[in-house]
Amino acid sequence: MRLRLGLWTTVLFLTAGCGGGQAKEPATTAPASITVTSTAFRDGGPIPRKYTCDGDGVSPPLTWTGLPAGTGALAIVVDDPDAPRGTFTHWVVLDLQPTTASIAEGQLPPTAKQAANSAGKSAYYGPCPPSGTHHYRFTIYALSQATGLPDGTKLDEALKAIDSKSIARGRLTALFAR
């Protein structure tokens, strides 16, 4: 009986760990019409250590073009789909003004809000894979209107709001290995 109880406990723990309770990226079907770039790295290239947990851990500079007419606000989601327990979200920025075309390194526009990331912090959490090469997706979402959510909003709530209001998106992917 003791062995059986231990086995069930292990199975339940592993099952919970596989999903990790991590949020997934917004499941939007919005067209990928936005072009996202950075002066710090190229799409598919390595992200400099400066922007990771092994460096200064500051957010990289990002620029985007191709927002559709009717964009009422913007959102940024940075995530790692290669995380051991499911997608790990490193940063969620909500309600950037639709006239915003870039963000500077380590900066956030004054009207933007930050939702909690997978670590529970309302801030940028630099790439920090436990091992191997991971893909870090910097996705810009054009929203039909602002979410109206406050700083510190729970991750799942923020991602659902982004998903429900997305009218276009664009992505820049960087790699980091440890």
The structural domains of the chain, ordered by start, are 22-177 (3.90.280.10)
pTM of the model: 0.85
3-class DSSP assignment, residue 3: helix
Q: Between 116 and 2, where is the model more confident?
A: 116
Contact predicate 126/106, CB 8 Å: no
Amino acid at 141: Y
∠ CA(165), CA(168), CA(169), 5° rounding?
A: 110
Contact predicate 89/148, CB 8 Å: no
Does pLDDT of 119 surpass 60? Answer: yes
pLDDT in tens, 46-58: 999 999 999 999 9
Contact predicate 173/125, CB 8 Å: no
Q: Which of 96, 86, 175 is nearest to 140 (CA)?
A: 96
Q: According to the model, what pLDDT value does residue 30 have?
A: 83
pLDDT in tens, 148-174: 999 999 999 999 999 999 999 999 999
Q: Which of 131, 128, 107 is nearest to 47 (CA)?
A: 128
Q: Mean pLDDT over residues 93-122, rounded?
A: 96
